[in-house]
Structure 1
Amino acid sequence: MKTLLFAELLRICQVASRVRLLGNPIRGDAVELEVSGVEGQPLHVELTDIRGQLTAKHQVGQAGAVEHIRLPVNRTTAGVLVLRVSTLTENQLFKVVKP
C-alpha cells in the first residue's frame, strides 16, 4: 500500500512540472492552464462534468514550448469537473472545483 501511494505521489509531481492549473478552485468563468514539456506534439484538452458530459475542449496540432489554454465554464453548474490533458504518449487527469 505504501509503495502505491509513493508511486502516485511521484506521478503527481511529474505532472505538476508539465501542467499548471491557474486557479483551483476556478476563479471567474474559465479553467486556465499552462502546458509545457510537450513541444512539437499534438495536444488535446477536455473538460467534463463528474458524469462524463463534455463541457469544453481544446486541441493543438503541434504544441509550442508553453501552451496557455482557457476553457470556458460559464454554462457549467458548480461542482467537481474533470480535466484531461492528452498527448500521443500521456493521458493525465485532474479534478477541478467550480464553486
Structure 2
Amino acid sequence: MGWIWDHDRAGYDGWGGHSYTSHAEFGNELSRIAGRQDWAALSILFDRHTGDPFDVPNQQAGRIAEALTALAPHMTPAWAPRTREIAAAARAAHRAGAVWHWG
C-alpha cells in the first residue's frame, strides 16, 4: 500500500506513487533540510495519520512545487529524483489550475 497522486510527470495527466514507508522516510529527509517556511508548505503531504485520500489546494500545490524545486539540489542522490518528481507533479497541478489529488 502507498500514496498515489495525479498530475505526474511534468504536466502529463497521469499518476505517480510510493509506499507509505518510503514516503515517510522521504518526509524525514526533507524535514532535515527544509527551513520553517518550506516545511510549512510541505507538511500537508506528510502529516497524515490515515491513508485516506486528500486534496491539496491549487495555490498550496504551487508553494510545494517551489519548495521542492529549491530543496532538490540539496537532497542526497538517492532522494533528489523523487524530490524533482513530486515537484513536477505539484507544478503540473498548479499550472492546470486544479487541486492536486492524493489517494
Normalising by structure 2, we get a TM-score of 0.29
Query: Which structure features the higher share of helix residues?
Result: 2
Query: Which structure features the higher share of strand residues?
Result: 1
Normalising by structure 1, we get a TM-score of 0.30
Higher relative contact order (CA 8 A, sep 6+): 2
